Structure 1
Amino acid sequence: MKDATLPPDPALPPEAALGAGSPRLRTGIVLTVLLACQLMIILDGTVMNVALSRIRSDLHFSATGLSWVGNAYTLVFGGLLLLGGRAGDFLGRRRVFLAGVGVFTAASLLGALAPTAGWLIAARVLQGVGAAMAGPNALALLTSIFTEPKARMRALALYSGMAGAGFAIGLIVGGVLTQWLGWRSVLFINVPLGGLAVVLAARFLPAVPRHPARLDLPGALTATAGVAALVYGFHSAASDGWANATTCLSLLAGAGLVGVLIAVERKAPQPLLPLLLFADRNRAAAYANVFVGYMASIPMLFFLSLYMQDVRGASPLETGVAFLPAAVLMFVLIQWVPRLLKRVGPKPVTLTGSACLVAALLLLTRLTEDTGYFPTVFLAAVLMGCGTGLALMPLSVIVMSEAPPSVAGAAGGTLQTIQQTGTALGLSVLATVFGVASRDATGSPRQLLVTGVTAAFAAAAVMAALTFVGSLAFRRVARGERPVRPSDS
């Protein structure tokens, strides 16, 4: 049944509906460009982590300044996602997407050429701006272009796979490039890829309908400041603790601004964040699971990477390869998720994935100083891939499949904002658990590290269990009903 809480939408013109009836080559190019850009944006959230030690020595970063190589990107990206998605609804998704990829590519070149620490941080800020313009509009373009149900389900599943596996792939790519070619290659690689994407997108991406409107400026300012304050507060909690004055002030300001945003959006005639997006039960449950799922899964990669390198003595490349089973399984499951959703609906799929995710984290709580890669870490990586593939990848499909074209950008921007905020909160909570556990333990430095890491995995398992609870909220599918149905565009 179509979501009656959202306004009806104008039909897409035939030339925009590439998912139904256009030449296969052109459809493939469109999908490849959008997915490649999404992967490039996600990679830049993690790929720099592996290179931080070399960046610090090369550009003479201070210990506190080095954290801004990552924070500058995530703060700006997270803070501007809602605005970037809604701008695409009003100004044209193709136009905003192309501009975003162009800005991201130019910023990558500037960062690769950075002679000073300040230069690199400024480039990372600019990358965040470009990513916030391109990311939500890539997702909105997928739903607007691929209108045939089967094609849309497959495109959204591939997109979700890129979003999930991109974090693991970032560690692999970062390890390979940093070890063989140096840290600047991590940014340089975006230049030819981004340039090619701009050329192909300009040639093959169709223009989809714009929805004439005025920008909700109060909502834009409140949302940008509120999300940025929350993300900064969570990052500050991870490094300086929850009792730190900056942490407390940032989180209080962020929470207050989110409250103001909700009040503003209730009265806005054309809101930046349409609150009716949360009126549909399945979409609201999917948003909730995105938040708690990314709280547990992405920080898990960070702590497992820490264990591999600082306890087991693995190189950055070896650490990246350790995540390969998870990444491979995510891509394999891409082919099955649309069929599973169509056949049984979201509840059984996400419940199974949540159970796998919890099992992976519980297995990692058994790590010791002498635990080898086989079988414990390998099995955990396999369960992690299955869990992420089944619990988190379907959520983008659920959120976007029935989002009308007029709010697709807002729906995509909200999805990615929740993703970023959940990741930042999860990392800060788990960093606190890690710090308390390792500080209270006794033994060698490696033993203290293992104690902290396993405590963090135990806390992450509790977070992952919340995705199991959230999955129970999905509507049960009646016999003969289509479980996840793309909207009738």
Structure 2
Amino acid sequence: MSPQTDRPQTDRPETDRPESDHRTARFTPTQRVTLTVACAATAMLMLDIAVVNTALPSIARDFGADFTSLKWIVDGYTLALATVVLSAGAWADRIGRRLVFVIGAVVFTVASALCAVSADMVMLNLSRVVQGLGAALLFATSLALLAHAFPEPAQRTRSLAAYGATIGGSFAIGPLLGGVLTELLDWRAIFLLNVPVGVAMLLGARWVAESRSVTPRRGDWAGSVTVVIGLAALTYGLIEANTRGWTDQVTLAALGVSLAALVTFVVIESLVRQPMVPLAMFTNAAFAGAQAATFAISASMFAVFVYVTIYLQGVVGMSAIEAGLVYLPGTMAMFVVAGLTDRIVGRVAPRWLIGVGLAAVSGGLGWMTVAGTDGSGWDMVGGFVLACVGAGIVNPVMSGVVLAESRHDDAGLAAGINDVFRQSGIALGVAALGAFFPSRSVLHGGSPEDFVSGLHAALWVASAVALAGAIVAVVTMRRARATGGGSHVDVTVADGSDRRFGESGRSDEPVATR
């Protein structure tokens, strides 16, 4: 499908149209603003995850929060994001991606201010849920705005490299920034930081071209309700299992409700005329494999880091700044690798890049089991670096695969599906891995030995999840395409036919597959 079938709703002069020169791929002023705004939104959302992790021990001490409440600070946000982002993508394709982006920016900015003035854990967790709702609108539209603004393969590759580097850069500075703000000011400062960024983003959005899908989907309210109930009940059941036990009636009831709701969701999606999640998209093995890999890295690496942060401050006794410094070598490596990945994405098949990246994550998490009650924290740095290098490879490639394996007109929907797997992975990973830890937090007098034992188990399980994701990616993504550079690449696809890619300049042209 040609990109011209999905026209912006605002006029744009011919002089401001994207250049088709694959060698230079210069950006127009409108493209530069769009890229800046999309990356600013991504940076704000990723920073919010990273800085909150570092501040968790301070929040726990300030409010006297128990272990369960701390997990909801993370899961309330990610769960709200995961359950709404599917509808947000389809909604954006219907009423306008820029409009939904602006609404999301307003909601997220206001919710950040409410988090900063929270008087207790109830208000903080409720504000985090609202933050997640705003984040869902931003996540679902950021990648779609880039897909529309950068239809040429060479330009899209550069924009996605910047997008991936933004993810890496945000994680690079996030833990240390969170530590500095928490220790020198207050944990509330990590939320106030979002306010000026949100305002600046809203001002810049005025120059972003509006776009809509030419064949938008109707709202699937039955599907939306059942997926919310299913994921919320599953997360609640996994968290409650930590304190009540797996055989408790409340735990079993929550897990039972979750199973029933998720099965109902699948049935609904297979019957309705315009489902929220077209199940046919998952008949594409490459697309399905990409979602499995996204879930794997989120449920393993990004989920377990919540507990690593508590270990560094609660067991080792590090300050928030010191804990942030331990993360720094790894997160900086993630930033650098994400930028370098652009140079090989058109030469190496996506399944091998993602497979190797997830294998590195698995190895790094296993390495981090050197943590002990008498550890320094710095002995985990090698594992941090290896895992973060793997994530730096996976993130930009995954974004390219998701766009390449979906129709240009369904960019918002595809981005939404990918984000629900990413955020539900974090939410369910945090909830499930929490079952390995004692119910009494080490931050409130719990046993350091018991916590370290739980951390070792969580790290090994997370390592296994990442390794499983690597295997799934290599096996299922044989035909995967990824948006790549403008050079002409001759490859042999899995069905044995030869094709020459990158010549037409179409936004849905693949650059490598095998």
Q: CA, structure 1 residues 428+9, in 2 after alignment: closer, same or farther (shift >3 Å)?
A: farther
- Partner residue in 1 for 2:492: 478
- Look up the match of 1:148: 152
Provide Cα deviations, 1:184-209, integer angstroms capped at 9, x if missing partner: 2111111110001011012x210113
TM-score normalised by structure 1 residue count: 0.87
What is the TM-score normalised by the length of structure 2? 0.83
Is contact 1:236–1:247 with CA below 8 Å preserved after alignment?
yes
Paired position in structure 1 for 2:365: 361
**SS of equivalent to 1:133:** helix
Instruction: Answer yes or no: is the 8 Å Cα contact 1:105–1:194 preserved in 2.
Output: yes
Letter of the 2:31 partner, please give it.
T
* Structure 1, 44-53 or 336-345: larger mean CA deviation: 44-53
Partner of 2:260 in structure 1?
Answer: 256
Q: 2:5 is aligned with what amino acid?
A: P
Residues in 1 aligned to 2:213 and 2:137: alpha-carbon distance in whole angstroms? 16
Query: CA separation of 1:271/1:20 partners in 2, compared to 1, >3 Å: closer, same or farther?
Result: farther
1:238-317 equivalence runs, <5 A:
238=242, 240-317=244-321
- Deviation, structure 1 residue 143: 1.4
Q: 1:317 Cα deviation (Å)?
A: 1.0
- Kept in 1, the 8 Å contact 2:78–2:426? The answer is no
Indicate if the aligned counterparts of 1:238 and 1:427 stay in contact, CA closer than 8 A: no
Look up the SS of the partner of 1:222 in the other structure. helix
Distance 2:390 2:42 in 1: 21
Render the CA deviation track for 1:134-167: whole Å, top value 9, x for unaligned.
Answer: 1111121111221111222232343344446645
Q: 2:122 matched to 1:101?
A: no
The question of 1:487 aligning with 2:512 is answered: no
Query: How many angstroms does 1:67 deviate by?
Result: 4.7
Match of 1:396 in 2: 399
Gaps of 5+ in 2: 21-25, 480-490
Q: Is the 8 A contact 1:85 1:137 kept in 2?
A: yes
- Structure 1 pair 54–407 and aligned structure 2 pair: CA distance change class (3 A): same
Maintained 8 Å contact 2:178/2:190? yes
Matched, 1:336 2:340: yes
CA RMSD of aligned residues (A): 3.2
Paired-residue identity, % = 32
Q: Are the structure 2 counterparts of residues 300 and 164 from structure 1 closer, same or farther at C-alpha, using a change threshold of 3 Å?
A: farther
Whole-angstrom CA distance in 1 between matches of 2:277 and 2:190: 34
**Gap change, CA 1:127 and 1:239, over 3 Å in 2:** farther
2:51 corresponds, among 34, 42, 47, to 47
Contact 2:18 2:28 in 1 (8 A): no
Work out the CA distance in 1 between the residues paired with 2:239 and 2:65: 18
Q: Distance in 2 between matches of 1:163 and 1:238?
A: 31
Quote the residue 1:83 is aligned against. 87
* Among 460, 463, 474, the residue aligned to 2:462: 460
Confirm or deny: 8 A CA contact 1:354 1:391 kept in the other structure: yes
- Deviation string 1:265-297 (CA, Å, 9 cap, x unpaired) is 222222211222212221111111111221111
Counterpart code for 1:351: G
CA distance in 2, matches of 1:445, 1:123: 31
Structure 1 residue ranges (4+ consecutive) displaced by more than 6 angstroms after TM superposition:
482-485
1:421 to 420, 424, 446: 424
Report if aligned partners of 1:299, 1:427 keep a CA contact under 8 Å in 2: yes
Counterpart AA for 1:251: L
Task: Give yes or no for the alignment of 1:197 onto 2:201.
Answer: yes
Residues 1:60 and 1:237: Cα distance change in structure 2 (over 3 Å): closer
Q: Decide whether aligned partners of structure 1 residues 258 and 446 sit closer, same or farther in structure 2, where only a CA change above 3 A counts.
A: closer
Counterpart Cα distance in 2 of 1:446 and 1:137: 43
Q: CA–CA distance in 2 between the matches of 1:162 and 1:248?
A: 41
In structure 2, what is the Cα distance between the partners aligned to 1:424 and 1:48? 14
Distance change >3 Å, CA 253–CA 18, structure 1 → 2: farther
Alignment of 1:125 onto 2:125: no
Question: What corresponds to 2:486 in structure 1?
Answer: none
Name 2:191's counterpart in structure 1.
Answer: 187
Q: What CA distance in whole angstroms lies between the structure 1 residues aligned with 2:319 and 2:252? A: 37
Answer yes or no: is the 8 Å Cα contact 2:235–2:431 preserved in 1: no
The one-character-per-residue Cα deviations of 1:37-57 (angstroms, maximum 9, x if unpaired) are: 122123323433433444455
Q: Distance in 1 between matches of 2:17 and 2:283?
A: 30
- The CA distance in 1 between the partners of 2:12 and 2:81, in whole Å, is 32
User: 2:483 is matched with which residue?
Assistant: none
- Unaligned 5+ runs, structure 1: none
Larger mean CA deviation between 143-152 and 67-76 belongs to 67-76
Structure 1 counterpart of 2:178, from 174, 177, 180: 174
Greater helix share, 1 or 2? 1
**Which residue does the alignment assign to 1:412?**
415
Separation (CA, whole Å) in 1 of partners of 2:96 and 2:204: 18
Partners of 1:415 and 1:152 in 2: CA distance:
18
Mark the CA change 1:235 to 1:421 in structure 2 (over 3 Å): closer, same or farther.
farther
